[in-house]
Every structure is written in C-alpha cells, then in structure tokens.
Chain A
Amino acid sequence: MATSERRTAGDADSLREARPKKGFLKRISPQSRWYWARQMLENPWAVGSMLFILLLIVTAIIWPFLSDNYPFRLNPVDRLQEPSRDFLMGTDQFGRDVLLRGVFGVRVSLSVGLAVMALSGLMGAMIGLLAGYYPRLDTPVMRVMDGIMAFPPILLAIAVMASLGPSTGNVIFTLGLVYTPIVSRLVRGSTLSVKNQLYVEAAQSIGVRDFGIMFRHIFPNTLSPLIVQCTFIIALAIIAESSLSFLGAGVPPETPTWGRMLRDGHQVITRAWWMITVPGVLLFMTVLGLNLIGDSLRDAIDPRSRQR
C-alpha cells in the first residue's frame, strides 16, 4: 500500500515537473518543509479562493476612502432603487447601497469566523490534550463534550443567544462553545495515538514535566489535522453567524452582515431581487472559497487524501 502511494505521488510530481513552471515554486523540493505551500499554490481552485477573499477584504477596507457613499447612511428618497449607475446593485428599504453593505458584510463574517476558530481551537486543543493525556480526566471530560454534541449546533447557538441577547461578542462566545467538542475530539484522538510513541516515553524517562511533554512533544504532532479542521470551522462559523443574524438572534441589527441583509431582503422578496442576490452570492462564494482552501490544505498536508 505504502509503495503504491509513493509511486502515484512520484508520478504526479514528474508530470508536474515536465510542465514549464515559474521558477520560484519549482525550487521548493518535495523534501522541503514548505512543500505543502507549493502544492497549495499549484492548485488553481485554492489560489482563486484566496484571491477572492483577499479582494473582498481589501475592498471593504479601502472603499470608505474612495467613496462618500457610506453603508450606514440612511437615504429614504432612494428607497428600494433598482440597480443603476448610481447604485450598482440597487438600494434597500432605507436607501442604503446594497453592494457596499454586502462588501462590508465580509468584516463581520470573517472576523466572527476567525475569532470562533481561535476560541474553539484553543479550548478544544487544551481539553483534547488534557483528556488524551490523563486517562482519569478522559471519561468525565469527553462525556461533557458528548453532551454538547447531543444538541444540533445551530439550535444550541439559538438557545444560548436567546439567553445572552444579540451582540457580536456573544455570537463569538456561543459559536466557540458549540464547536469546541469537534476540536477536542480530534486532538484527543491524535494525542492518544501519539502518547505511546517512543520519544514521549524517552521524554518522560529523562524527567520532562507533563506540561512540557504535552506542549513540546505531543501538541506539534496533532497540529496538521487541527489546522485543516480550523479552516472548516471558519466556514461553519460564517454559516452559523449568518443563520443567527437571519433569525434575528445574531449581531445587532444596525451592523451590516449578510444574514441580516438576507433577513431584510426576504421581507421584500417579491420586489427587490438584488437585496437577496448580493449577500446570498457573497456568502456562498466565501464559504465555498474557504472549503476549497481547506480541501487543498488537507490534500497538501495529508497525501493519502489526494487520491480521492
């Protein structure tokens, strides 16, 4: 099995070498520790996705400097205008530029996504490491994680948000809580499989303390599946945040966010197709992009998955 894998990987490489390539990427050899980056940059879907998300972020940052149009400015005269030269994708019930608000929506979505990833990644990694390393902690801690996972994620998020009230911080806290068990299960699994390796035993025998072993010797070996999972958590969190905002239980109403825009658009669906098209397409493209980046990262880190 192992030899055949190596052969397919080798064949793919030799095919790739045969094609003329820009020099820089080609200089990264399969032995290099940056080989995964080369593989990702050679994947057109991943590169396209990264460029798209980057473009969104840059537009959201520089647009306010270029235009006097402002996403929060109410302008009742221009209510529900169709797309025109003044408003490329029309206006909403309050006369606000839909395209501009849509581009601004990436701020909330991506920052919530990244913050949720950081929070659940951190908590999940800690819990997973501790539960995997100390057998005594394993059962009680993982039962609590099972308890959280017994709720459909979005429903648990709705319930917590209903109790805490709408705010961006609460969305991040809630979704971080909801996705922690996914990360902790993953890290616990890798910890259990790494824990009995010889180098861990060696570290124990020369008297390295438990925390040193966990963070210096075990944690780095759980990283690669964790990083891949984190990309998907950003995507999941963006969907969850927009669902919560769509239901009116997410970020406060005045913040421009895709879920909120879809909620507003849903109410005038018979009259203003542009109001749902802009946030819907942007949301779809962003999540799609993050998933494609996650997939290519997984293929680059774990060659086994590439054959699929």
Chain B
Amino acid sequence: MTQYIIRRLLLLVPVMLIVGIMVFTLVHLTPGDPAAVILGPDASSSEVEALREQMGFNEPLYVQFVLWFGDVVRGDLGQSYYLGEPVTRALLNRAEPTILLTLYSLTLAIIIGVPIGIVSAVKQNTFIDRLAMMFAISGVAIPNFVLGIFLIMFFAVMLGWLPSGRYENILDDPIQHWRHMIMPTIALGFSSAALLARLVRSSMLDTLKEDYVRTAFAKGVGFKTVVTRHALRNALIPAVTVIGYSVGTLLGGAVVTETVFSLPGMGRLVVNSIARRDYPIIQGAVMAIAVGYVMANLIVDIIYVYIDPRIRYGD
C-alpha cells in the first residue's frame, strides 16, 4: 500500500510537468508585451526594456520555463499586476469560500445522488424511478449559473427567504455562513447529484443481475441486506470514480457560481482578473486548482483500494 502511494506520488511529477508547460504556454499566448502591460501605456520604451531585463523576459524560453517552474515548485506564483501582492498570498486569502463551496456541493451531491440512484434502481420502471430519472436528466441539462440565477430570483428576490450577494466567514458566524451558502451549494451541486444518481442507478441495475446477488436471495437473505451489503458495495465502486471526476467539475463550476453569488473566492478573483488583464493571477489560480484536482483524484484512487479488495495495485 505504502509502495503504491509512493509510486502514485512519483507519477505526479510528469503530470505536474505537463500542467506546468501548459500554464507556461498560456503566459506566452498572451498578446503583447507583459512588461508593457505592467507599466501601463505611459511607460517609455527604455523603461519597458529595463523591466524586461529585470524580469528575465530576455532569456531564452527554456531558461524562463526552468526559472518559473522552480519558483512554482517552491510556492512562488509571481506578483499580481493589479493587486500589488504575491499571487500565492492573494489566492490563499480567497481559498476558504472556494474550498468550502466545493466540499459542501460534493457532500450534497453524494447525500442526494446516491440514495436516489439506489431507490430508482430497486424500483426500476416504477413511477418513482421515472420521477428520479426526470430529475437526473434535467439536472444534467441545467448549467450551474442558470440554476443559481433562478434560485436568487425565487428565494432571494421574490420570497426573500435567503440572503444573497454576501459572504460570512464560517468562524465569525457559522449560522449566517450556512444561510449564505445554501443557494450556491444547491446551484453547484445539483448537476453532480443528478449525474451521480444516474450512474448509481445503472451500476446498481448491473450488480442486481449478478449471480452472487441471486445466490444471496436464494439463500434467504433479506431484501434490505442484499441491497445494502451485497449489491450496493459493489455498485458504489464506479460511483467513486465519478466522485473524483466531479471534484474537477465542481472546482471549475465554483468559478462561475462564485460570480453569480458574489462570493469572494478564488474563482471570482480569476473572473475579475480577466478584465484587469492580471495574467499572473489567472495562471496561478489555474495552476493551483489543477494541482488540487490531481490531488483529489489521487485520494480517490487510494480510497478505491480500501473499498475494493480486488484491486491490489501492483503488489
């Protein structure tokens, strides 16, 4: 097991290198001279040239890449053009809403998606099943920001039940914090819940047809026990993969959802940075979120080994 984790951690190196090369390429897709962007339109050409020299833009590309990647590995993502602070600090200051929103939505997706999937598989082709699948099909079709806007319109503007447009720190006032996070969580988690429900249903239907389930029934094991202990455990294995994949969708979706609900997270910072042409922030955030996503998938792969004893990676 330890060996497996070490091997997986080593495999992260090439993936991170490729991610790094892609983010670095993005820097150089940027039209115009970054030094000119930093100094603004009033700078003289000698000032721009001096800054280019100082920031190393005159070095060959591969030298620039090695220097930049070395900094990234040490946690230095450069300096924001607009905020005047290091990108790493700017991102860390805004990480809380993004991480919490992603975690809440993931929890919501699991709490809603898995039971719905189980029930509709057990009651296949009944009214409940049809209803659940209608939820699933429409859930996948509604983009998170559209759902978010409609939630604001109904529950904040028309009914006035829930607050919107502000963020409370979880430590300052947990109750207010959760009241503010209800709508963003639903908006972001809904489509993942729907996807998970569909997947759990179809994988439950497959396992319910397996010989060992029939054997369990034949032995006289109770219905509930067969469903929860024999079928569900095996049906959840593909679901875990989708949960890992969902983390990426949710992290990406958080960027959009934060903008809808004006949450001061990393995503909103990224979106605001587009108009400010603050490229180091965008690239830093993309790098950070990609690392988070890769890590989440690593954790999912390790959980896999625990829930599925058939998988013994390379032992």
State A266–B255 Cα separation when bound (angstroms).
Answer: 16
Contact of A247 among B22, B146, B259 (CB under 8 A): B259
Q: Which residues of chain A have C-beta atoms less than 8 A from B18's C-beta?
A: 143-144, 146-147, 150
B142/A262 in contact, CB under 8 A: no
B251/A152 in contact, CB under 8 A: yes
Task: Please name 25 pairs of A and B residues whose Cβ atoms are closer than 8 Å in the assembled complex, sorted by A.
Answer: A144-B18, A146-B15, A147-B22, A151-B252, A151-B286, A151-B289, A151-B293, A154-B252, A154-B255, A158-B282, A159-B23, A160-B26, A242-B146, A249-B271, A249-B274, A262-B149, A270-B157, A280-B149, A283-B146, A284-B138, A284-B146, A287-B141, A287-B142, A291-B141, A308-B205
State A165–B30 Cα separation when bound (angstroms).
Answer: 9
Minimum CB distance partner of A247 in chain B:
B271
**CB contact under 8 A between A266 and B149, given known A152-B252, A243-B256, A288-B141:** yes
Contact of A152 among B145, B274, B277, B293 (CB under 8 A): B293
**CB contact under 8 A between A158 and B15, given known A163-B30, A247-B271:** no
Task: Classify chain B: how many residues form its interface, as a range.
Answer: 35 or more
The interface residues of chain B, by DSSP majority, are classed as helix
A288/B137 in contact, CB under 8 A: yes
A248 in contact (CB, < 8 A): yes
State A230–B15 Cα separation when bound (angstroms).
Answer: 27
Q: Which residues of chain B have C-beta atoms less than 8 A from A150's C-beta?
A: 15, 18-19, 290, 293-294
Binding site for B on A (CB under 8 A): 143-144, 146-148, 150-156, 158-165, 235, 239, 242-243, 246-249, 262, 265-266, 269-270, 273, 276, 280, 283-284, 287-288, 291-292, 295, 307-308
B153/A276 in contact, CB under 8 A: yes
The residue among B29, B143, B259, B283 with the most chain A CB atoms within 10 A of its own CB is B143
The interface residues of chain A, by DSSP majority, are classed as helix
B243 → chain A closest CB, angstroms: 15
State A284–B138 Cα separation when bound (angstroms).
Answer: 8
B274/A248 in contact, CB under 8 A: yes
Q: Which residues of chain B have C-beta atoms less than 8 A from A165's C-beta?
A: 31
B293/A269 in contact, CB under 8 A: no
Contact of B286 among A159, A247, A292 (CB under 8 A): A159
A291/B140 in contact, CB under 8 A: yes
A150 → chain B closest CB, angstroms: 5
Q: Which residues of chain B have C-beta atoms less than 8 A from A276's C-beta?
A: 149-150, 153
Q: Which residues of chain A have C-beta atoms less than 8 A from B202's C-beta?
A: 308
